[in-house]
Amino acid sequence: MTPAIFGISGLELSADERAFFADADPAGYIVFGRNVESRDQLRRLTDQLRAVHGRERLLITIDQEGGRVQRMKPPVWPAYPSGGAFDALYDVAPVSAIAAARANAHALGLDLAEVGITCTHAPVLDVRQQGAHDVIGDRAYGHEPLRVAALGRAVLDGLARAGVVGTIKHMPGHGRTHCDTHKAMPTVTESEDELERDLAPFKALNHALTGMTGHLLFTAWDKHNPATQSPFIIEQIIRKRIGFDGLLFTDDLDMAALSGTVPQRAERAVAAGCDLALNCWAKMDDMVGICQRLPVMGEKATARLDRALAGIGPKGDVAEQAALIAKRDALLALVTA
């Protein structure tokens, strides 16, 4: 098995993709807006992926947070609020905010399960910082680590009720970024003591089945390598200090924060300790190059993948969704009541 997550080019698999995926045997896939048209179409696409591998349980992922980051959009699917909506409610009624976040994630998870998607890259556990770049912004659940952890825990729980695995991101913390990692490499210069605040939500939810790194340079820990490609940060900070032993994805390797070719970026990330290289854009040359450079998936990574796949459950009853959304909306209305 290739320790990579690959994208798909269109609304269905091409003949070349079918042949390549069958030969490469990647650990999983990621769905983007270009792959999404209708419920029936998306279910056919995920069924095609399962047929390539001949197994029902397959890691098929998506960035479906709500707010600005939502690949499955209205009018086919409901619009989901950003993390900031639950942060605002927490100011008024913390218990209600947690209940609203759980109901929202459960409803969102039912959408994913219905179309065969088994993992979403949420919740965002980055602690929002004043004056930081807005690439995280209202995607975050607040400025306080305990609040972020409480709401993030509710999101993981809601997704699990729908049979979907959640991904905690972006370790070891993306809230201090001064630029968009899609475009440039941020350098974080705060001390280790200051960075403890960023680690706190990840420590609280270190039992999550999957997690994701961020492409940031933390000078307190590694002056030369971004977190995604830093053996010290992955082993000493993410694995040991945070205590995360789940399946570790890179963030998207196509981001301009990283240097080198995409296959080189994947090789460095996996060598540093990431379990899976996330390559989103379905460029065949890049995917072939990744397969040529990466080793066969190791025992520890395979065991973590197996644990994540075991977290995929029955999809639940999509008929529950209307009641869940109504509950969420009634609770969020407390902010203006």
Catalytic residues: 182, 251
Residue 305 · residue 59 · CB < 8 Å: yes
Please name the helix (run of DSSP H) or strand (run of DSSP E) that holds residue 213, with its range, or none: strand 210-213
Angstrom distance (rounded) from CA 119 to CA 59 = 7
- Crossing angle of helices 145-161 and 94-114, rounded to 10°: 40
User: Dihedral of the CA atoms 251, 316, 205, 142 (nearest 10)?
Assistant: 80
Residue 267: CB atoms within 10 A of its CB come to 20
**Cis preceding linkage at 123, omega within 30:** yes
Token readout for 164 is 């979907």
Pairing assessment for the beta strands 69-70 and 277-279 based on DSSP bridges:
unpaired
Angstrom distance (rounded) from CA 79 to CA 113 = 16
**Cis preceding linkage at 172, omega within 30:** yes
Q: Can you tell me whether residue 169 is helix, strand or coil?
A: strand
212 forms beta bridges with: 249
Nearest to 200 by CA among 157, 263, 243, 264: 243
Residue 336 · residue 88 · CB < 8 Å: no
Residue 6 · residue 302 · CB < 8 Å: no
Say which residue the tokens 């390539």 belong to: 52
Token readout for 229 is 């490609």
Angstrom distance (rounded) from CA 170 to CA 36 = 25
